[in-house]
Structure 1
Amino acid sequence: MSKKVLQLVSVSILLLFVVQCAKRGTPTGGPKDETPPVLVRADPPNYTTNFDRKEIRIYFDEYIKLKDISKNLIVSPPMDPKAQVSPQGSASRYIDIQITDTLTPNTTYQFNFGESVTDNNEGNEFPFFKYVFSTGDYIDSLNVTGVIRDALLQKPDEYVTVMLYEADSTYSDSIVYKDVPRYITNTLDSTVVFELTNVKEGRYKLVAMKDDANNYTFQPDKDKIAFYDGFIEVPTDSVYVLRLFNEQLKSETGRPKQASAQRIAFPFTGNPDSIDVKLISAKPEGFERLVTLKKGQDSLQYWYKPQVETDSLIFETYGNKQLLDTMYIRKRGLKPDSLQIQSVSSSLILEEPYLFNTTIPVVAVDTSKIKISRKDSTLVEAFQVNLFPEKLQMSLKFETEENESYSIQMLPEALTDFYDSKNDTLNFSASTKAYGDYGEYDLTLQGAADVQHIVQLVTEKGDVKREIIGAPGTTVFQFNRIEPGKYYARVIVDLNENGKYDTGNYLEQKQPEEVLYYPDLLDLRSGWYPKNTFILTQE
């Protein structure tokens, strides 16, 4: 074999070895690319004045994508029709903007892309990129900054839209229902602060909305809203705090539906306490009715007796004593309701009443037919029964002891429901824990105004577990026998002293009642008795 052939064989073997090694340990590449896209140029250039074009192109040094463009992109002032922006879904080396709206003279426009611009491969963001131009001789450069809060919840929503309306001769508060604002921005998904930039000097109404429809108009049945009292003057160095709230919807009733032989369901919106239902059909002698609402439901239940011997019923509904509607319903041959009683829980909290839910309002009780016994079979002699027919609930209150088991027996005819039906024999079991199985908590309010305060313990999801209403001047709120868990202490400044949180109303320019959260999460455990002092400061 010649020397040349040997060299060729050696080279071939070497190449084969290299290829095999490459197959066994193919490198995965160098360090991960963490460099965001770089803006190369824009046509027309960013911050162009006397702008008169219909198309804008913004070029980058690599392929980019636009992420969640419908949420991230804010065009201010809004355009109608909206500008067409690409790419959407695919990748491109440039952003293309097609403008079809007639632009307003002497106005600064801004395309704020938020966190949407990313490179195609690794998703590295080119954050908070703005393209700005003016149809006039100069770029407006003033700013308005602030913070978004939720009026009731601890954390505000994401992607809250913040708007400025010009307070000129055409302004009215109803503008938020029908017209788009002059300037807009949003809070994106990771911050509660906002900044409106490139604002012109002037007088404005400052409003924020959780606007899921992205139409920049207020829909009270869907949107949260916040507003600053009065108007703001730009330029300003103030930091504005806006509190988002859901309005109490206007009292209205929907189409009724027969739910059983002698029960009609009326869907409603608004405050149920302000709604009344009246039967205007001819009523038989001894006619009675009862309207109930079970917690968490959105329909009022209209119970009536005796049966009305007609094919249809005519009702009138009222909201705040004003006629809302006249409604007809054709009766069907449905089965009557039957009385059922169910305990809310098998656990009985010391010194707390024992609750029951009922399927029909219970209107009378014979306490001689209710027996409560301990685990040693001795009877509990003293107890109290409270009926809440409008809520379809009842309760038993008696002196309880630690680590005790109780048997509750309701003999036949102990309970009478709205239809004069009686119960069969009912048996329930409940047990208590030791005092040491619970926690206790004291919250002292410092700097509180001399008004009524409501202090609540709420879960991380916002569910109210315990509540104390303190008269004006009350500073110490003591919670006893609390189930171990994680809670936040929430303070409602109850200015009208009605014992509940009252929301705001935009047209009335009424702010919601102030709600404050103690900043630290309370991790309450068995046998713990923490105490906190909450220094109240108004925003």
Structure 2
Amino acid sequence: MIIRTILFAILSLIIFGRCAQTVTPTGGKKDSIAPVLIQSIPVSKTLNFKGDRIELFFDEYVVIDNINQKLVITPEADNPYSYKLNGESVVLNFKKKFKDSTTYTLNFGDAIKDFAEKNPAKNLKIVFSTGASLDSGRVYGTLRDVKTSKPLFDALVGLYNISDTLNIAKQKPYYFSRTDSSGRFSIENVQIRKYRLIAIEDKNRNMLYNAKDERVGFLNDSISAASDSVSYSINMALSDVTPMKIQRTIPKVNNYTVVFNKGVEKANVSFTTPDTLPYILENSQLKFFNLQPHSDTVQVKLVVTDSLGTDSTFNQKISFMPQRGKERQRDPFSMTVRPEQNKPLSNNFSYFLQFSKPVALLDTNSITLISDSLTRKPLKEIPHEWNKFHNQLTISGKATSKDTIKWEFPKGSIISVEGDTLVKMLMKHPLLNEEDYGKLTGTVLNIDSSMHVIVELVDEQFKVLKTSYTYPYKFEYIPEGRYYLRVTLDRNNNKRWDSGRFDEGKQPETILYLPDKMLIKSNFELNDINISVPK
């Protein structure tokens, strides 16, 4: 009987033990309520605060998330602190007292969150003064990218003390704020006096301007921070004012490449020795080609222009690697076309050929334009023009096609400076059907007749589709889709947008957008789409 009882007890434990496995409870409402600050020491807007400790008390357990990055203290205190989390409270212990007679703002952003669902405390900010009154000045406004007109999020907007030696690459702002997702900023409780208002993208959050890859925006004149301050609008632009440098060189047997630290808009090469070499410009690189005979070292003077129009001069020795073996291994010779193969082409066309090397020979008799396999016209009868480096050919002309346009390039019709050629190629393009595309016409209003403009149609990714340097403008062959229309006020008539220079107080050239995105439909024309220039 005893044995039977023991066996029954063991069996019961096994059965009911399996039934009692731990499971995650289901149901229950998710906590979506942010923690609420119920008390702070000091209380916000306290006067004559002399302490070095800040305490915050919440209505629930909280956690701290990257407070060293997210806590913004203005004016910049240069006062290191440590922090401690005690369940429902957070304590900040500062290394030293705060500066006398100064109003401080501690903006915590989303650095403090509830324990369960990580909901951040909203609008968590403490303001106190170490003097007898709170500063009441305020500066607010919006930031936008000048090229896209889109608001900039999390950019740094600073008030700087006015100085003849102000260098935002080395000096942090006295007061600052960061923009929200709508590009809005507000700097509050500042001393009422004059400042320089400057915004930087501040990607690395070090509060210093890095001209290489950070956008900047500024007002030329100083501003007065007052309690009834006006709203400021600042346009941001990338303006790389770093000096042009030769970053490295790449010597090979067949070519020698000079690589610069940023993009090159123009390049002029003067050979200071009797020898000359063919060369091409590719973005930030100048590539020289090794054509015998020449001396072991070729001396050149390089004058390169960056996107800001700044010229830089370099004296460079071109020295190729010695050849090993009887045969030289050449880089491939290639050609790309625009429009691309199988893309529609109009009978009234502009056609672009891009080569990987300078071209020494172009046989305009054998290269042929073919309309519907019936009409053949040699390139010599069609207007065409080389670029400076002889590696890009622009062809502008007319075809008589009703269906297909072809370009025939026989083998040997194009020979590079290195003596290599291309295989036989046949580029086919269907005839562009006008009914598949839309049209757009309009003008620029309220503009001085002496002002030059650039009218552009850009897609939703701000890629330029059509450009006109005159107005009224007319854009044809627009694929169906949604587009923006914008106008650049081209101050110096160089037919490109200039980004300005902070170091010289030059604002970026103004870009105006039509307020609404346009829907362009196939076989449809939009007329009188005008942009007005504010007076």
Q: TM-score, normalised by structure 2?
A: 0.84
Match of 1:47 among 32, 37, 45: 45
Secondary structure of the equivalent of 2:45? coil
Corresponding residue for 1:15? none
- Report whether the alignment pairs 1:358 with 2:355: yes
Measured in 1, the distance between the counterparts of 2:63 and 2:523 equals 56
Counterpart in 1 of 2:91?
A: 96
The answer to which of 142-151 and 418-427 deviates more is 418-427
Residue aligned with 2:166, SS:
helix
Pairwise CA distance, 1:113: 1.7
Cross-structure match for 2:287: 301
1:474-489 matched pairs, under 5 angstroms: 474=471, 476-489=472-485
Alpha-carbon contact 1:440-1:528 (below 8 Å) kept: yes
Cα 1:425/1:385, change in 2 over 3 Å: farther
Deviation at 1:27? 5.6
Tell me how far apart the structure 2 counterparts of residues 391 and 213 of structure 1 sit (CA, whole Å): 42
Relative to structure 1, the CA distance from residue 402 to residue 248 in structure 2 (aligned partners, 3 Å threshold; closer, same or farther) is farther
Deviation for aligned residue 1:26: 6.5
Distance in 1 (alpha carbons) for counterparts of 2:182 and 2:367: 57
* Structure 1 position 413, deviation (Å): 4.0
Corresponding residue SS for 1:143: strand
Contact 2:513 / 2:531 at 8 angstroms: preserved in 1?
no
Q: 1:101 to 1:481 in 2, by over 3 A?
A: farther
SS of alignment partner, residue 211 of structure 1: coil
What is aligned with 1:530?
Answer: 526
* Contact 1:59-1:94 at 8 Å conserved across structures: yes
Once the 2 structures are TM-superposed, how far is the Cα of residue 56 of structure 1 from its aligned partner? Answer: 1.2
| Preserved CA contact (<8 Å) 2:247 2:260 | no
Match of 1:216 among 194, 199, 207: 207
Distance in structure 2 (CA, Å) of the matches to 1:66 and 1:191:
26
Q: What residue in structure 2 maps to residue 35 of structure 1?
A: 33
Structure-to-structure mapping, 1:452-463, within 5 angstroms? 452-463=452-463
Q: Does the 8 Å CA contact 1:363/1:417 hold for their aligned counterparts?
A: yes
| CA-to-aligned-CA distance 1:53-105 (integer Å, 9 cap, x gap) | 22211111112234564664322122335444566xxx942233232366332
Measured in 2, the distance between the counterparts of 1:71 and 1:154 equals 28
Quick one: which amino acid aligns to residue 263 of structure 1?
A: N
Q: Aligned pair in 2 of structure 1 residues 531, 100: CA closer, same or farther (>3 Å)?
A: farther
Aligned length: 503
Partner of 2:38, secondary structure, is: strand
Greater mean deviation of Cα atoms: 219-228 or 126-135:
126-135
Structure 1 residues 95-104 or 152-161, which shifts more? Answer: 95-104
Q: Work out which of the residue numbers 504, 509, 519 in structure 2 matches 1:508.
A: 504
Aligned equivalents of 1:150, 1:194: Cα separation in 2: 15
Cα 1:432/1:227, change in 2 over 3 Å: same
> 2:299 touches 2:318 (CA, 8 Å); kept in 1?
yes
Quickly say closer, same or farther: Cα 1:436–1:391, change in 2 above 3 A: farther
Question: How far apart, in 2, do the equivalents of 1:160 and 1:433 lie?
Answer: 45
Distance in 2, matches of 1:426 and 1:537, equals 49
Comparing 338-347 and 414-423, the one that deviates more: 414-423
Instruction: Report the residue type matching 1:356 in the other structure.
Output: L
Cα distance in 2, alignment partners of residues 407 and 128 from structure 1: 65
SS class of match (2:139): strand
Q: Which runs of 5+ in 2 are unaligned?
A: 1-18, 324-328
Q: How does 1:202-351 map to 2 (within 5 A)?
A: 202-235=193-226, 236-258=228-250, 260-269=252-261, 272-273=264-265, 275-277=267-269, 282-284=273-275, 287-290=276-279, 292-294=280-282, 297-303=283-289, 305-310=291-296, 316-319=301-304, 324-327=313-316, 331-333=320-322, 335-344=329-338, 345-346=340-341, 347-350=343-346, 351=348
Q: CA, structure 1 residues 304+24, in 2 after alignment: closer, same or farther (shift >3 Å)?
A: closer
Task: Report the Cα offset of residue 519 of structure 1.
Answer: 1.9
Find the aligned partners of 1:408 and 1:416 in 2 and give their Cα distance: 17
Are the equivalent residues in 1 in contact too, given 2:357–2:391 (CA < 8 A)? Answer: yes
Give, as a single letter, the amino acid of the residue that structure 1 aligns with 2:372: K
The verdict on how the C-alpha distance between 1:315 and 1:71 changes in structure 2, with shifts beyond 3 A counting, is farther
Identify the residue that residue 441 of structure 1 maps to in structure 2.
Answer: 440
In structure 2, the residue matched to 1:10 is none
Offset of 1:504 from its aligned partner? 1.1
The structural deviation recorded for 1:505 is 0.6
- Corresponding position of 2:382: 383
Deviations 1:279-338 (A, max 9, x none): 55x544xx2443x333xx33232345435442x565554456976555556632473344
Q: Distance in 2 between matches of 1:228 and 1:108?
A: 25
Deviates more, 1:525-534 or 1:316-325: 316-325
AA of the residue aligned to 1:492: T
* Aligned mates of 1:453, 1:323 — CA distance in 2: 28
Q: How big is the shift at 1:516?
A: 1.3
Kindly provide the amino acid, as one letter, of the partner of residue 63 in structure 1.
Answer: Y
- 1: CA distance, partners of 2:64 / 2:234: 30
State which of 185, 188, 202 in structure 2 corresponds to 1:197: 188
Equivalence for 1:181 = 173
Question: Larger deviation: 419-428 or 522-531?
Answer: 419-428
User: What CA distance in whole angstroms lies between the structure 2 residues aligned with 1:227 and 1:416?
Assistant: 52
- The answer as to whether partners of 2:501 and 2:507 remain within 8 angstroms in 1 is yes
Contact 2:52–2:98 (8 Å) recurs in 1: no
| Cα separation, partners in 2 of 1:299 and 1:132, compared to 1, 3 Å | same
User: 1:83-162 maps to which residues of 2 (within 5 A)?
Assistant: 83-85=81-83, 92-100=87-95, 103-162=98-157
Shift of 1:135: 2.2
CA RMSD across the alignment: 3.2
Q: Which runs of 5+ in 1 are unaligned?
A: 1-19
- Give TM-score, length-normalised by structure 1: 0.83
- 1:369 paired to 2:366: yes
Q: Which string of whole-angstrom CA distances, capped at 9 and with x for unpartnered residues, describes residues 13-70 of structure 1?
A: xxxxxxx9xx9997612x4433321112112222233333222111111122345646
For residues 81 and 32 of structure 2, the distance between their equivalents in structure 1, rounded to whole angstroms, comes to 31
Letter in 2 for 1:331: F
Q: What is the identity percentage for the equivalent residue pairs of Structure 1 and Structure 2?
A: 22
In structure 2, the partner of 1:465 is 465
- 1:35 counterpart letter in structure 2: I
